[in-house]
């Protein structure tokens, strides 16, 4: 096994040339988008797969690719033309407006054979579908989205032995030229011989200017006027803009519904990024606080806008129902420009950090308690440097990361103010800070956008950065690695007139699809422009998308090169087979993310079935958010750094699911993939030691290794809500009769919330969705069982738990509405249904079929 690993290390540079493109692009958005009739014929897109040499395939071949058709004013055009012997053309045309695709075998002046494929528009429009063209003796067969059609060809298509050209879109062939291009996108183009061997493959991901390389042998294909989808990971696209003459417009972002709010003294503008529309609302009464930067934030839980000032005891709230602000500022003095802010999702408290005003920089942490309607302020000047123009990201459990800014150690503007590049971890509940590291060797002075995006799994974050020493500045996306505090600038830049009292920039991530930058700046004409720019996630730099074949020039096509590659491929295959045979890198052994009763580890089955909501000592909470209390009842969650927390959770959840845990290799791949083996091992060992020390303080909890797998074992004196509820769910899932007491315990525990709602990572998805599915299925089953189906109060609680996981689950809505109605709470029953309708319309953009009358009349 060590020899196999050594081979991998020796040949890694060669393997990068062969496989890196495919490996890097699999999680990215890629493909070639074609310019169609919306531009003049000279500017339409052409893809030439064989610009340098023909293909001789005397016994037939297969062309396969992924196709996406989009709607436009004119949708007719040539998807591809395969030209053979300068006399024959095999064409595929699309006409989305007429719901048809045609495959035609043409001569120079006549049509030899053709076939038509009719389809429903919604089946193909704006969706990737598989297309395959198979040329054999006497026939041509093509399939689209699984539907297969054959063309009988009297002229024997196997005679098309020499393929001179394969064009997608427009071309200028002397006999078969065309400028008719349908609005389409293509990717993953593959040509196979009659035996199914791949002889050409272009994924249409990595590319250089006007060229993309075949992944098998490095043959180039050329592109004219193409739009590369992968470029959206590197280039900002200006999606929308709004110009207002009102001074200091206030900005808030809604990352849940993909909206940006702009509030002026008399209007509210809602910029809907999904359909790129702007909605203007004339405010009926009231107005928000207005000052430099923004004093406005969106509360997604209550669906309201909050305008605030730490010098004022009352918040000013915007009601979308009445289009009114709850008041107007009495005092417009605002002293904390360019501060950071967030709403703690668990306490619902508004938290403000830092800022600038009256020639002073602030290190104050101010919290607004909605219960007491009072601000509580704690000055952290003894723990960190006062600052403004810094970037903030929320980690969960009241913890935030604050990066950089501009300020001075005393807070006085005249006392040696300077640019700050440290990263601080602030516990907003315990009012403590910890410096995690600092950027060095900054070539120019930078300040940062209001928010950052944190990639916990890779231990890095993204923030907007702009030079602070010039007015004609530009905004760039910065990536910071929190392992060694190296950094790089990604993507292109956004022009930015930087005048801190008249400019503001923020950023948010919408689901897993993209990053949005919100830029406020004063125009040369004196108005204020709010621009929205988008970038696909994950963001890349320009070198990331260049072809790997061009490390020192294009891939050589000499026979020696092919022999070397062939030998390397054989070695690689042998290594991979050995690795797979001896189980060197076993992952995802068990397909179930939640395991089953038999696989549930014995070390975790001893968890107590009872649940103490007020229990603090030796408690691990995963439902509703990650939180850990030690033996004395102290909250030690803040001591779990992002990497330690991820390691602990990965090993615990996988152990619950499979009874095994996580290998060291998988941990290294997850957290230290960009390090060499020795450095990754050292980092892993350091973090494991830290984790073990923390778990010793927690209670009878151990992080240990058995049979090459790291896992977490929990003893009887330590309570974990997720372990307990999983144990109970497995207990009832295999039983035909539901134990009411067990179901009540499950509901009691599960009502705490979702599994790790603040862990927005791909590795956690399967555990989160697996838990939700297992819980919902068992609770719906319990709702029909004897002893429970007539207990309406319990059914309301049961339905509430399901609705936490799926707010538009029709079964649980029916259970809750009907139970409330039976309990005589008819108003609450109708409110429940109305909320369901609103959520349903918001999520699915259509009215639900489920009617209230049918719910309350059903039994």
pLDDT tens-digit readout, 401-436: 999 999 999 999 988 899 999 999 999 999 999 999
φ and ψ at 291, to 5 degrees?
Answer: -160, 180
- Average pLDDT rounded to a whole number, residues 226-236: 94
Q: In sequence order, what are the residues at sequence separation of 6 or more whose Cβ sits closer than 8 angstroms to the Cβ of residue 325? A: 283, 285, 286, 287, 288, 307, 316, 317, 318, 319
Query: Given this model, what pLDDT does residue 593 score?
Result: 66
Query: Given this model, what pLDDT does residue 673 score?
Result: 82
Q: What is the mean pLDDT of the chain?
A: 86
56 or 588: which leads in pLDDT: 56
783-821 residue pLDDT tens: 988 889 889 999 999 999 999 999 899 999 999 999 999
What is the chain's length? 859
Domain residue ranges of the chain, discontinuous segments joined by +: 31-204, 237-539, 602-784, 807-859
In this predicted structure, the answer to whether residue 229 has a pLDDT above a threshold of 70 is: yes
Measured CA to CA, the distance from residue 238 to residue 779 in angstroms comes to 47
User: Residue 660: pLDDT band by 50, 70, 90 thresholds?
Assistant: confident
266-295 residue pLDDT tens: 999 999 999 999 999 999 999 999 999 999
Most confident listed range (444-453, 687-696, 704-713): 444-453
Of 241, 134, 227, nearest in space to 184 by CA: 227
pTM flag (> 0.85): no
H/E segment holding residue 82: strand 76-84
Measured CA to CA, the distance from residue 721 to residue 713 in angstroms comes to 14
Query: Given this model, what pLDDT does residue 659 score?
Result: 85
In this predicted structure, the answer to whether residue 10 has a pLDDT above a threshold of 60 is: no
In this predicted structure, the answer to whether residue 759 has a pLDDT above a threshold of 60 is: yes
**In 216-303, alpha helices (H):** none
Please give the angle made by the CA atoms of 605, 609 and 612, to the nearest 5 degrees. Answer: 130
Of 359, 402, 364, 366, nearest in space to 381 by CA: 364
In this predicted structure, the answer to whether residue 3 has a pLDDT above a threshold of 80 is: no
In this predicted structure, the answer to whether residue 250 has a pLDDT above a threshold of 60 is: yes
548-568 residue pLDDT tens: 643 333 444 433 344 444 555
User: Residue 583: pLDDT band by 50, 70, 90 thresholds?
Assistant: very low
Strands 46-48 and 162-169: antiparallel
Query: Given this model, what pLDDT does residue 595 score?
Result: 66
Query: Given this model, what pLDDT does residue 579 score?
Result: 42
Query: Any idea which architecture 31-204 has in CATH?
Result: Sandwich (2.60)
Helix axes 826-844, 810-822, angle to 10 degrees: 170
- Average pLDDT rounded to a whole number, residues 448-458: 94
Measured CA to CA, the distance from residue 701 to residue 617 in angstroms comes to 13
Quote the tokens at residue 207. Answer: 């590319």
485-529 residue pLDDT tens: 999 999 789 999 999 889 999 999 998 789 999 999 998 888 999
User: Residue 598: pLDDT band by 50, 70, 90 thresholds?
Assistant: low
Of 763, 793, 579, nearest in space to 667 by CA: 763
Query: Given this model, what pLDDT does residue 387 score?
Result: 97
φ and ψ at 535, to 5 degrees?
Answer: -150, 135
Query: Given this model, what pLDDT does residue 16 score?
Result: 33
CA 49 to chain CA centroid, Å, is 33
- Average pLDDT rounded to a whole number, residues 40-55: 93
Find the range with the poorest average confidence among 79-93, 121-135, 305-319, 673-687: 673-687
- Average pLDDT rounded to a whole number, residues 656-665: 88
Strands 719-720 and 619-621: parallel
- Average pLDDT rounded to a whole number, residues 33-52: 95
Of 343, 342, 337, nearest in space to 360 by CA: 337
442 or 2: which leads in pLDDT: 442
Q: Tally helices (H) and strands (E) across the chain.
A: 15, 50
In this predicted structure, the answer to whether residue 587 has a pLDDT above a threshold of 50 is: no
The rounded percent of the chain whose pLDDT value lies above 70 is: 88
Three-state DSSP state, 261: strand
Quote the tokens at residue 19. Answer: 């496989």
Quick one: CA torsion of 462, 464, 469, 474, rounded to 10 degrees?
A: 130
Question: 595: left (phi > 0), else alpha (psi -120 to 50), else beta?
Answer: left
Quote the tokens at residue 755. Answer: 């599994």
Find the range with the poorest average confidence among 612-626, 649-663, 694-708, 763-777: 612-626
116-163 residue pLDDT tens: 999 988 889 999 999 999 988 778 899 999 899 888 665 554 445 678
Query: Any idea which architecture 237-539 has in CATH?
Result: 6 Propeller (2.120)
- Average pLDDT rounded to a whole number, residues 652-659: 89
In this predicted structure, the answer to whether residue 589 has a pLDDT above a threshold of 50 is: no
Query: Given this model, what pLDDT does residue 151 score?
Result: 82
Q: What residues are paired with 224 via a beta bridge? A: 46
φ and ψ at 306, to 5 degrees?
Answer: -120, 120
Please give the angle made by the CA atoms of 267, 269 and 271, to the nearest 5 degrees. Answer: 180
User: Residue 234: pLDDT band by 50, 70, 90 thresholds?
Assistant: very high
Measured CA to CA, the distance from residue 659 to residue 354 in angstroms comes to 46
How many other C-beta atoms lie within 10 A of the C-beta of residue 339?
26
């Amino acid at each position: 096994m060590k020899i196999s690993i050594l081979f991998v290390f020796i040949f890694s540079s060669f393997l990068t040339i062969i496989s890196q493109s495919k490996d890097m692009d699999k999680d990215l958005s890629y493909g070639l988008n074609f310019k169609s009739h919306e531009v003049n014929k000279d500017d339409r897109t052409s893809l030439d797969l064989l610009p340098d040499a023909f293909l001789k395939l005397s016994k037939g071949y297969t062309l396969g690719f992924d196709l996406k058709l989009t709607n436009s004013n004119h949708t007719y055009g040539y998807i591809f033309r395969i030209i053979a012997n300068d006399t024959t053309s095999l064409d595929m045309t699309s006409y989305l407006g007429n719901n048809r695709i045609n495959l035609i075998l043409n001569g120079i002046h006549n049509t030899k054979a053709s076939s038509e494929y009719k389809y429903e528009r919604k089946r193909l429009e704006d969706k990737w579908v598989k297309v395959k063209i198979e040329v054999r003796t006497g026939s041509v067969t093509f399939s689209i989205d699984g539907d297969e059609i054959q063309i009988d060809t009297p002229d024997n298509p196997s005679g098309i032995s020499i393929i001179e050209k394969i064009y997608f879109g427009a071309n200028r062939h002397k006999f078969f030229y065309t400028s008719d291009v349908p609005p389409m996108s293509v990717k993953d183009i593959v040509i196979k011989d009659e035996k199914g061997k791949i002889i050409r493959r272009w994924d249409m991901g990595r590319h250089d200017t006007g060229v993309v390389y075949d992944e098998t042998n490095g043959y180039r294909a050329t592109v004219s006027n193409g739009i590369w989808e992968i470029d959206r990971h590197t280039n900002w696209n200006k999606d929308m803009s709004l110009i207002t003459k009102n001074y200091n417009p206030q900005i808030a972002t809604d990352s849940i519904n993909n909206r940006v709010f702009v509030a002026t003294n008399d209007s509210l503008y809602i910029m809907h990024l999904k359909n790129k529309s702007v909605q203007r609302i004339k405010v009926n009464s009231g107005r928000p606080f207005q000052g430099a930067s923004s004093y406005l934030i969106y509360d997604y839980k209550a669906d309201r806008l909050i305008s605030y000032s730490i010098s004022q005891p009352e918040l000013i709230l915007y009601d979308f129902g009445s289009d009114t602000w709850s008041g107007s500022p009495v005092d417009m003095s605002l002293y904390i420009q360019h501060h950071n802010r967030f709403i703690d999702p668990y306490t619902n408290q508004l938290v403000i950090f830092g800022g600038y005003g009256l020639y002073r920089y602030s290190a104050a942490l101010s919290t607004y308690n909605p219960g007491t309607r009072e601000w509580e302020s704690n000055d952290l000047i003894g723990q960190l440097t006062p600052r403004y123009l810094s970037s903030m990201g929320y980690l969960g459990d009241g913890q935030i990361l604050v990066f950089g800014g501009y300020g001075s150690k005393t807070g006085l503007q005249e006392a040696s103010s300077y640019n700050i590049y440290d990263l601080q971890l602030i516990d907003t509940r315990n009012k403590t800070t910890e410096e995690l590291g600092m950027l060095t060797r900054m070539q120019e002075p930078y300040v940062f956008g209001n928010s950052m995006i944190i990639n916990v799994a890779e231990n890095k974050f993204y923030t907007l950065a702009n030079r602070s020493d010039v007015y004609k500045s530009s905004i760039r996306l910065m990536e910071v690695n929190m392992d060694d505090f190296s950094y790089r600038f990604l993507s292109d830049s956004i022009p930015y007139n930087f005048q801190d009292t008249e400019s503001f920039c923020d950023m948010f991530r919408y689901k897993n699809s993209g990053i949005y930058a919100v830029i406020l700046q004063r125009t040369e004409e004196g108005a204020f422009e709010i621009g929205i720019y988008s970038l696909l996630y994950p963001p890349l730099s320009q070198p990331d998308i260049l072809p790997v074949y061009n490390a020192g020039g294009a891939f050589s096509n000499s026979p020696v090169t092919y022999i070397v590659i062939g030998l390397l491929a054989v070695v690689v295959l042998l290594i991979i087979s050995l690795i797979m045979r001896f189980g060197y890198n076993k992952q995802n052994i068990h397909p179930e993310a939640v395991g089953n009763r038999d696989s549930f580890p014995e070390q975790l089955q001893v968890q107590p079935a009872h649940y103490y909501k007020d229990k603090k000592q030796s408690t691990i909470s995963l439902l509703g958010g990650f939180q850990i209390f030690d033996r004395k009842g102290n909250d030690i969650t803040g001591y779990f750094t992002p990497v330690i927390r991820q390691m602990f959770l990965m090993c615990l959840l996988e152990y619950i699911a499979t009874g095994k845990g996580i290998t060291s290799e998988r941990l290294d791949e997850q957290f230290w993939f960009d390090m060499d083996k020795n450095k990754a091992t050292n980092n892993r060992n350091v973090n494991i030691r830290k984790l073990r020390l923390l778990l010793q303080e927690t209670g009878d909890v151990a992080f240990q290794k058995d049979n090459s797998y790291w896992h977490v074992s929990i003893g009887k004196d330590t309570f974990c809500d997720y372990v307990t509820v999983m144990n109970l769910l497995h207990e009832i899932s295999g039983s035909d009769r539901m134990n009411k007491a067990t179901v009540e315990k499950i509901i009691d525990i599960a009502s705490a919330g979702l599994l790790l709602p603040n862990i927005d990572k791909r590795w956690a998805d399967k555990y989160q969705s697996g838990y939700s599915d297992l819980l919902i299925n068992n609770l719906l089953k319990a709702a029909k069982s004897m002893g429970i189906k007539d207990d309406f109060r319990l059914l309301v609680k049961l339905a509430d738990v399901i609705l936490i996981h799926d707010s538009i689950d029709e079964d649980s809505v029916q259970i809750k509405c009907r139970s409330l109605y039976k309990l005589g709470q008819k108003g609450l029953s109708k409110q429940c249904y109305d909320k369901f309708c609103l959520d349903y319309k918001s999520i699915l953009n259509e009215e639900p079929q489920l009617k209230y009358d049918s719910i309350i009349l059903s039994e």
